[in-house]
Structure 1
Amino acid sequence: MTYPITASRPTHRIYAVSRSGKQKIWRAIGALWPHHDGKGFSHKLDCLPLNGAEIAIRQIDADIDASEGAQ
């Protein structure tokens, strides 16, 4: 069963978070959209971490997202 996505833009970004010493490295690996009924999510992954990285999902902040696209 599939549900239509409510927006054309994702609401959350999916990250692989790994450590290098004390520093955390966040790599964007996908995006997430809520289902129309509000009971679940659809996601698209561009890659999968194979290094034991944690998966983190964060709501997209419009200001930060716009600055990332400008780089």
Structure 2
Amino acid sequence: MSDTNTNRPSHRLFNVNGDGDNARWTDIGVAWATKDGKGYTLILNAIPVNGRIVMRTNDEKDTKKGS
């Protein structure tokens, strides 16, 4: 398993409700690739009960978060 305390997360996790311009994106956590590259370690700040979870690369300029 990767050391999640020293590395910047490679991905962010969002709960997405709706589609297209009407979609609501809520930031719910982060993810790191495992050392062996065969999976990801997830840290969730919330567990959605509806919608879908989308994992995107961690880009500081990502405008989807919170919109």
Q: TM-score range by the shorter chain?
A: 0.7 to 0.9
Aligned-residue sequence identity (percent) comes to: 33
1:54 aligns with 2:52: yes
Other structure's SS at 1:27 match? strand
Query: Is there any run of 5+ residues in structure 1 with no aligned partner, and where?
Result: none
TM-score by length of 1: 0.72
CA distance in 1, matches of 2:30, 2:11: 6
Partner AA of 1:15 in structure 2: F
1:9 aligns with 2:11: no
Greater helix content: 1
CA distance in 1, matches of 2:3, 2:42: 10
Other structure's SS at 2:23 match? strand
Q: Which residue of 1 aligns with 2:35?
A: 36
Moved over 4 A (4+): none
Distance 1:60 1:4, change over 3 A: closer
Query: Is there any run of 5+ residues in structure 2 with no aligned partner, and where?
Result: none
TM-score by length of 2: 0.76
Q: With CA pairs under 8 Å and 6+ residues apart, which has the higher RCO, 1 or 2?
A: 2
RMSD: 2.3
Tell me the matched-pair count. 61
